[in-house]
Structures are given as C-alpha cells and as structure tokens.
Amino acid sequence: MPDANLPRVPEKHVPAAQDPQLRKLANCIRFLSMDAVQKAKSGHPGAPMGMADIATVLFRDFMRFDAADPHWVDRDRFILSNGHGSMLLYSLLYLTGYRDMPIEQLERFRQVGSKTPGHPEYRHADGIELTTGPLGQGIAESVGMALAERIMNATFGDALINHFTYVFMGDGCLMEGISQEAISLAGHLKLGRLITFWDNNSISIDGATSLSVSDNELERFRASGWHVLEIDGHDTDAIRDAIRTARSVVDQPSMIACKTIIGFGFPTKAGTQKAHSDAPGEDEIAGARKILDWSAPPFVIPDDLLAEWRAIGAKGVTSRHEWANRVSEAPASLRAEFERRNSGELPSGWKRAIAAARREFIESAKPLATRQASGAVLNHLFAAIPELLGGSADLTPSNNTRAVNQVEVRPGDYAGSYVHYGVREHGMAAAMNGIALHGGLIPYGGTFLCFSDYCRPAIRLAAMMRIRTTFVMTHDSIGLGEDGPTHQPVEHLAALRAIPHLAVYRPGDAVETAECWELVMEQPRRAALLALSRQPLPLLRSDASTDNKSARGAYVLLDAEGGARRLTLLATGSELHLAVQAREILQREGVPTAVVSMPCRLLFEEQDAAYRKSVLGETAARVAVEAAVELGWERYLGVDGRFIGMHDFGESGPIDDVYAKFDITTDAIVRAARQVLEVA
Ligand SMILES: Cc1ncc(C[n+]2csc(CCOP(=O)(O)OP(=O)(O)O)c2C)c(N)n1
C-alpha cells in the first residue's frame, strides 16, 4: 500500500526549462550539492536541487554583487533562511568565484574546520551574510537587514545605498511562529526592497506538509500587506518575470511562492521527503545524471559552465565601480560620515557622553532605577553616536529605550532612529541581528527580562555570530513587584549567562550602568544584554575618576577595614546596596568585610587568575546575593559559602514585601555571614 501521507511523485521530474542554458547552469548547483552530501554522508540535497533554477535566474539576471569584493557596502544581500540547504549557498559561492570557497571546501562539506559547516555560519566564509539553520531566523533577520538598508538610504541617499535583500525560505521557515512576527513587521514597515522566495515543495521531514499545516500562505502574506506572486519555480521565464515585478513594487515587500519539486532530478526520491536529507546513494545520483544529462565526474564543473558562472560572479564589477565613483563624488562630510559608519568606527569623543552621564549621576546623587540611568545614558550616547538605532517591543516608557531626540521610523519614512517593534520580542531580537549585520547602524532594543525567553534563539545567534546586538532587559527581578511571578525573572540570568560569548551586564547603580553601556559600545564583536532594575537604587559610586571599574567584570567596591579581610560579600544589580548595608553592620561587629560588585561574570572570567583571586579574597567565608536562582554562584562560594536569592518563582506584591517574603534582605545577608564565619 502506498503511504497515504506521501504526495504523489510527479510523473515528470524535469519539466523543461524555457532557457536550456539556464538549466545547465542550475544543474551545476544540483550536482555539487549531491556530490557534497554524498561525500559527507549527510546533509540536505533536496532544497538546493529544488531551488537551483530560482537561484540561477536570481544570480544571473538580478543579484548585484561582485565575488571579488564580498563586502561591498551596497551589494544586494542574499539570505538562505532554509539554512539546511547550505550546499545551495556554498555551490553559488564556489561557482561565482569567491576566493575563499575553492572546490576543496565543498569536498570538505560538514567537516571540522571547513568553511562549509552543516548550516551556513557567519564569518566562516565571505558571502555568508548571516548564520541560518534554526528555521525562521533567516527571514526574521532579513527584515532587519532590509530595514537597515532603508534607514541608511534615508540618511545617505540613493547614490550611496540602494540595494535589495533576497531571501530563500522553506515550508519550515513559514511554519515557525517567528515568521508571523517578521512578516507582520515587514508588511507594516512597507519594506519594498525585501523580496522573498518560498520554496513551496509541500514536503518537510515527516512527509507532506499537509500532515501539519493547511494555512493559505498567500493570503497570510497578503493580509500583512505583502505583494504576493505565485509561479512554477522551474519555469525560468516565470521566475524572471516575477522577480522583475517584485523589484518594481516599491512600498510592499514581495513574496514569490515558487512551486518546486524537492530533489529535482532524482529518479526515485524527487518530490518526496526522502529527498530532504541524507546521502542520496550512488544509484540515485547515477539516475540523476541520466535524467539531467550530466556526465562530468563528481565535483567537476565543465569548463564552459564554470566560465559562465565566473562571469556571473564578476558582472557586478561595473556597478561596484560606478558606486565607488558616486561615493567619491559625494560631499566630503557626507562621504566621511558614510565611510565611518560602515567601518564601524565610533565618532571621536563619544566617551565624553559616558563621562557626562556619570557626572550627572554623581552631582544629583539621587536614587535611580538602572533602567532610568540607562535612559539617561542613551540620551547622551545618541547625541554622540547617531547610528544608534533604538527600539522596544511595546515597552518604550518602561524600558527607557528612547532617547529624547530619537524620532520614530514609520512605514515608508525611514529617517528616524527608533523602531516600535510592537509586541514581537522574537521578531525584534532577530531583526536587530539583521540590522547589526547589515552595517552602518548599531541596534539595541528592549523588553522585560522575563521575556528574554521569547528572544532567546536570536540572542543565541547574536552571541554565536559575535555581533553587537544589545538587548536592554528591564524589570530584572522580583523587584518589579506587583506584576507577580509571570513577570518576575528568576532563572533567566543563569540561563543567559550560560550562552557562550554573551556579555550579561547587571549594573548595581547609575554609574555602573554608564560603565556597562561604555563596555557595550567598546566591543563591536560582543552581543550584550543589560539586566536593569525597575526600582530605584541608591548611588554607590561617587568616584570622580572616569576609570571603568566594571571593565574587569567584578571589582572590590568596598574593601575590608580594620584588619585582613575575613568575609567577602558578592552581589550584582539591585542587591548590591543590600550587601553594602550588611557590610556596615558586620564592620561594626568587628568583621573586616569586603563587598565585591560583579556586573559581568563573563568579563570577570576573562581576567587573569591573580586579579580574580585578589577580588574574591583569600578567605573562604563568602556570601553571594542576587534576586535570582543560585545556579552559577557555586563557582565562587565553595562548600562553605552561602547564597541569598530565589529558590522558587516570585510573588505578586509591593516590592518590600516581596523581598521580605523571600528573605533577600540586609538582615538575611548578615545572618548568612555569621554562619559562614563560624565554619570558615
Ligand atoms: C527551529 C528549527 N526546528 C527544527 C529544525 C529541524 N529541521 C530542519 S529542516 C526541517 C524541515 C523543513 O522543511 P522545509 O522547510 O520544507 O525544507 P525542505 O524539506 O523543503 O528541504 C526541520 C524540521 C530546524 N532546523 N530548526
């Protein structure tokens, strides 16, 4: 009995192309993909084979790029959101002549240390604009890229920035929830230079997509304001016409639904989930050779076809030169600013903004929530760094993310520098990654720390790609009070600190907040998250110096007095002042006590052992306090140390009552200190 869930295998595996030469070029992608997957004994040949015709039309007839200069600022961007089809991208990079993608890299597909990992990874090879693989992230990041292009265009004009963002995406990308946030945001913002191609092959891993989805995708996109076209993805004329039309639509993003056959060319697997992944086997490849009339050995592209592909890779050189001429003819100040922003260099003197914010905090000496301090820092920073692009997922007044002079970005009007992302945390986080990757802008965006869970997959990618996306997460503990446990983060700091390379900052007062922002701006290759308090915190630092004490991750805020240190109190953020108060009591009792502030564990772990030892102190008597779970603090506490923090979800109530209920108080710290002093 045939499996009822399997779609009918198309009778005609190879519908004729109107342009036979184009089909031959596309077959280069197909065979490189088959050969690489077969050699690696793993991978995903189906999507590259199904989308090869579309890719070939796009690259041959439309994509503006120059393989010899992969970082050309005004190049069109190509994003493979269905990242499992990575061989499609690697084939294109090899065929079009990217220098760092020789054939040997394709032969080393999916091997340790290769430029051709299972899914495309940013920085592994030129032409990989971003890391994709977690389905849906690519399309959502592309929205940020397309938005960044328009914002840069609004500042610098058509002559300097005016390109398209093309995205391939599969059924899986569209099934993911993040796609809805991305589609909705792009439609709202009228991102007309975003052109997406849906690989509508009706197949995913489990079988026919009808097993799990019956959405009318065309209507879904239309409902969000997109321009939608539907074509046969193997009809080369139709592909060309559709792209031409999509490019002419200026005020709507386009979705071209391309009916394709997964594994196009396979004799038995085409059109079935068996084409999705895994090595096809020698027999299947031999069959494909017959069907597609291909006689070259594995990994060999016939000279004439390779020459044609290389010409495609070089055709953009004229456009690039024309663009370079336009840049050199631009007014000197505009040109200098354009080049500075694209290089990622910050304006000279920007640190004065941080110093000014610090001075303000010290002069007023008022208690300030760190979210408010962050807002004040941003006011200064935005005045100094115009490429800052702020935003919030509908919590602007709570996150304090909008600087006084930031004007909002509106649909069709991209002159602003503040994005209302709406209640779309995941879409916002991914879009910010796309903005950072585009270049020329420095994105940050806010929500409540608790909802970092809704952003986490994009935060993880930001950390993996080592890009400067900054997540401003306020209401960072039970200290938010009455909203209760659904809104009170408890395990989030530990979970976020577990992400490699992500700098999680939790400043303890306004001055530390300024320092943490300075560190964010100083590190272009580090994703960062600021955990900020809702509640006011006393100013603990009034040193006039502009030394950034947070730069080493942790430092001795108050040293022990009256003898050698007997006790170390470790704290972050809104609990730092509790440790300071506890120290006063303990010092009065004759216990020389130091308070260590640890705004960024990652940076502290990067310090040399001698510094870390000097901060943590010789004594084993240690108490850590943080209104969050203990996980991770054991590292500093040892067997004799004690932790004051959360062991359960929080509770709704006025802040002081909630802290008292969970016994996160000065008194609790003092009690714990006495206990550890007894055993230490
Ligand atoms: C977030 C996420 N969930 C699951 C996967 C595993 N996965 C990879 S491909 C795929 C099926 C995708 O189907 P489709 O987009 O139609 O790709 P095609 O079969 O056309 O290659 C799944 C579930 C993933 N990569 N990312």
pLDDT at 544: 80
The 8 Å CB, 24+ separation contacts for 456-459 are: 456/495, 457/134, 457/137, 457/178, 457/426, 457/430, 458/137, 458/140, 458/141, 458/426, 458/429, 458/430, 458/432, 458/433, 459/429, 459/496, 459/499, 459/502, 459/527, 459/529
pTM: 0.97
**Which residues have any ligand 1 atom within 6 Å of their CB?**
44, 46-47, 82, 84-85, 133-135, 170-173, 176, 199, 201, 203-205, 262, 276
C-alpha 298 to ligand 1 mean position (Å): 27
pLDDT at 13: 52
pLDDT at 14: 66
| Probe residue for ligand 1, chosen from 200, 204, 269 as the CB with the greatest number of ligand atoms within 8 Å | 204
pLDDT at 546: 86
Contact 203, 7 (CB under 8 A): yes
Phi–psi pair at 59, nearest 5 degrees: -75, -35
Ligand 1 atom 18, closest CA: 204
Element containing residue 172 per DSSP (H, E)? helix 171-175
Least Cα distance to 92 among 13, 168, 16 occurs for: 168
Ligand 1 atom 11, closest CA: 204
pLDDT at 8: 40
Q: Is 425 a catalytic residue?
A: yes
pLDDT tens digit string along 168-221? 999 999 999 999 999 999 999 999 999 999 999 999 999 999 999 999 999 999
Size (the chain), residues: 680
pLDDT at 387: 98
| Probe residue for ligand 1, chosen from 80, 84, 132, 258 as the CB with the greatest number of ligand atoms within 8 Å | 84
Q: Which atom of ligand 1 is closest in space to residue 174's alpha carbon?
A: 15
Task: Point out the catalytic residue in the list 387, 425, 515, 518.
Answer: 425
Q: Which atom of ligand 1 is closest in space to residue 46's alpha carbon?
A: 21
pLDDT tens digit string along 477-519? 999 999 999 999 999 999 999 999 999 999 999 999 999 999 9
Could you give the CA distance from residue 104 to residue 256 in angstroms, rounded to a whole number? 34
C-alpha 221 to ligand 1 mean position (Å): 20
Could you give the CA distance from residue 579 to residue 629 in angstroms, rounded to a whole number? 17
Q: Is the dihedral of CA 15, 19, 24, 29 positive or negative?
A: negative
C-alpha 483 to ligand 1 mean position (Å): 37
Which residues in the chain come in under a pLDDT of 50? 1-12
